[in-house]
């Protein structure tokens, strides 16, 4: 076996028609990844981008998956 999973969570703020990452958290562990954190924001529109990666025991990238949350607008 010897697989490794990694996760990166990015807090993104909308800037015109694009998204800018303003904070990110990362973690990796062969068995599980746990992330918990608070971050306070100002007025704007936000989303989370989650990137999952998995590697085999040789360090070869097996998979990368991107997921996005629904957007949230803070007034």
Q: Contact, 3 vs 55, CB < 8 A? A: yes
pLDDT-derived band at 10, boundaries 50, 70, 90: very high
Three-state SS for the chain is CCCEEEEEEEEEEEECCEEEEEEEEEEEECCCCCCCCCCCCCCEEEEEEEEEEEECCCCCEEEEEEEECCCEEEC
The residues, ordered by sequence, that sit 6+ positions from 29 with a Cβ below 8 Å of its Cβ are: 4, 5
Counting residues of the chain whose pLDDT is more than 70, the rounded percentage is 87
pTM of the predicted model as reported, rounded to 2 decimal places: 0.81
Residue 6 has pLDDT above 90, yes or no: no
pLDDT-derived band at 57, boundaries 50, 70, 90: confident
């Amino acid at each position: 076996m010897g697989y490794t999973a990694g996760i990166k969570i990015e807090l993104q703020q909308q800037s015109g028609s694009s998204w800018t990452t303003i904070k990110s958290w990362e973690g990796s562990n062969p068995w599980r990844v746990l992330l918990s954190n608070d971050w306070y924001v100002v007025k704007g529109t936000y989303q989370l981008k989650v990137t999952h990666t998995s590697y085999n025991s040789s360090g070869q990238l097996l998979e990368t998956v991107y997921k996005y949350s629904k957007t949230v607008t803070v007034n």
